[in-house]
Amino acid sequence: MTYTNPSPQTGPAQPSPPPNEPPIVSIRDLQKIFPVPGGETVALKDANLSIQRGEFISLIGPSGCGKTTLLRLMADLEQPTGGGLLIAGRPADEARRERQYGYVFQAPALMEWRTVLKNVLLPLEVMNVPGDRLARAREMLKLVGLEKFERNYPWQLSGGMQQRVSIARALAFDPPLLFMDEPFGALDEITREHLNLELLRLWRETGKTVIFVTHSIPEAVFLSTRVVVMTARPGRIEGVVDINLPHPRSDDTREDPRFFTLATEIRELLKKGHA
Amino acid sequence: MTALRPSRAAGLGPMLIVALIAAALYWPLMLAANVGPAGRTLASGAELECRTALACASQLRNPVVPAPAQLAQGFMRLSTPVTSPLALPYNVGVTAGETLLGLLLATVTGIGLALLLVASRAFERATLPWLVASQTVPVVAIAPMLAVLLGQYGVQGFLPKAIIAAYIAFFPIAVGMSRGLRSADPLHLDLMRTYHASSAQTYRLLRFPASLPHLFTALKVAVTSALVGSIVAEISTISFSGLGKMLAENSRASDTVALWVIMGYGAVLGVTLVALVNALERWVTPWSRR
């Protein structure tokens, strides 16, 4: 497990966890087989992975590599057909019931009948969170820079703004984990790069553990502390790449020679799985 | 039902053009329809103030299609005195009341049924064929039977008509609402699952609001059905008021002018009721883009 070394030139890095803390996500020989007409599809085979508190992990791979399946298994939205996993030290279903994670979907999935503010309030209402929920929701909107849009309906916002609302909603109840399934996949390159910077800022400010599914190599390198490279048929983990780029990252990070080296390393791993 | 959605100012222009065309065609079509009966009346040697069939076509006592002046006279005759229980305004009010009460009963029944249909596949399999069968019985046939049945329990007058209206209006609501309750976005269902939301919370916060567009589409179908139901119920049972009672009376008297005027009132009532549902929809769903 490699963490970026704090360096005086680049500011403080993400704080390293105490060495003996148990992993926040622990996956052992995880397997998921979907029945299909006339047989079965191995969506995920023998996955092993351990994630420490405070990490930013990207799952990258071509479609059909099981990266979304892996995330949904962690979220207890699918049940494994083999192996086991612990989320925050508990079985996945228990972790879900105890609201250990927030989930950001590929689409913003905002409820069109609720204003922006009420969308962020939704989890707080469902969970009956004590205290001033309205203040909490407003704080979250401020965190994603949309406090001026609280009275708007989702359709009045751009796709990027909607996805920021959905991130605010996922963070509203302060879960230790944030699962993100290709959240910026449908956005244009410019918006995506802007939101990548914002997401890194959020990650550093909140200290969450983020697990981020993407199919963009630059995005994975730019955001992550580690990148889990996955390949298809059957879906499996091909390798894990440590991203030892300094924090905080900025647009300059994309020009760092190490950035290209790491991107090449990931590309090679992806090719290896394809061969 | 989009054709029944009255759009705002932008939609009024085309509507007015159709109205102008209809008005322009009315006079020649009216003459064409009446000229034959007018000729026969002249030939019978009746005492008339007109000399030719064409001139008489707009002055028949019981015209096939009434002339505008006859319509205006009929309108005044049937609409005044405004507060009289024999005049149209009061009777339109009675039919409107029956229709709205019927729609209310139908909405409560329809939504209740939809909740049961969505909650249990077994219930759906057991009851849906019977619900469909209930709609294939002609309302004209079932109305007198229901009126007699309800009369046995002392339910008379206004209420049986509302119940008959509800009988044909609940079905589109039950179907539309159960479709609506199943229409929640799978991502939203996943989202509620990640929140560990209870089934009641998922219904209240997700399934019910997601069903509203379907519910209102169904309500627009249902309100016109309910109007037909209450008028048919008035015609086919013993009635002392309502549009249906007036239609029955005047058709027995062959008063075609009155029938046309009543029909006009009925049309205006139908359009008004649909407009009411539209207004309710805009009030309940302010997030809608329209």
Q: What is the pLDDT of residues B119-147, one digit of tens each?
A: 999 999 999 999 999 888 888 888 888 88
How confident is the model over A226-254, as a mean pLDDT?
A: 89
Highest mean pLDDT pick, A15-19, A86-90, B50-54: A86-90
State the smallest CA–CA distance between residue A80 and chain B in angstroms: 17
| Cβ atoms A171, A143 nearer than 8 A | yes
Residue B247 has pLDDT above 90, yes or no: yes
Helix axes B88-119, B68-79, angle to 10 degrees: 80
pLDDT at position A51:
93
Q: Does one domain contain both B132 and B235?
A: yes
The answer to whether residues B61 and B180 belong to one domain is no
Domain containing B212: what range? 88-288
Q: Flag whether pLDDT at A116 surpasses 60.
A: yes
- Asked if the ipTM is above 0.90, the reply is no
Q: Which residues does residue A58 pair with via DSSP β-bridges, in sequence order? A: A212, A227
List the single range of A3-12, A203-212, A265-274, B194-203 with lowest mean pLDDT.
A3-12
User: What was the pLDDT predicted at A150?
Assistant: 92
More confident residue, B82 or A53: A53
Supply the pTM of this predicted model.
0.83
How large is the average pLDDT for residues B19-29? Answer: 90
| Statement to judge: residues B114 and B204 lie in one domain | yes
* Both structure tokens of B265: 């009132």
Domain co-membership, B39 together with B145: no
With 0-12 CB in 10 A as exposed, 13-18 as middle and 19+ as buried, what is A37? exposed
A171 or B52, higher pLDDT = A171
In this prediction, residues B158-180 reach a mean pLDDT of 93
Residue B287 DSSP code: T
Higher local confidence (pLDDT), B8 or A248: A248
* Domain count of the fold of chain B: 2
Beta bridge partners of residue A214, listed in sequence order: A60
Q: Is there a domain that residue B267 lies in?
A: yes
Residues B250 and B133 in one domain: yes
Q: How far is A173 from chain B (nearest CA, A)?
A: 10
Q: Are residues B116 and B189 in the same domain?
A: yes
Mark whether B154 and B17 lie in a shared domain: no
Q: Are B187 and A105 inside 8 Å of each other by CB?
A: yes
Residues B60 and B182 in one domain: no
Kindly tell me if the per-residue pLDDT of B61 is higher than 90: no
Query: In chain A, positions 155-194, which contact chain B (CB-CB < 8 Å)?
Result: 155
Instruction: State the average pLDDT over residues B147-160.
Output: 84
Same domain, B115 and B249: yes
Q: What is the mean pLDDT of chain B?
A: 89
Contact A109 B187 (CB under 8 A): yes
Best of A71, A76, A103, A111 to disrupt the B interface (most B CBs within 10 Å) is A111
More confident: B249 or A9: B249
Please tell me the distance from the alpha carbon of residue A180 to that of residue B106, in angstroms, as a whole number. 44
pLDDT reported for residue A233: 83
The pLDDT score that the predictor gives to residue A17 is: 53
- Listed in sequence order, the DSSP H helices in chain B are 9-43, 53-56, 68-79, 88-119, 121-136, 139-152, 158-181, 186-194, 199-202, 208-236, 243-252, 256-284
Q: Do A160 and A191 contact (CB within 8 A), yes or no?
A: yes
- Report the C-alpha gap between B230 and B236 in whole angstroms: 10
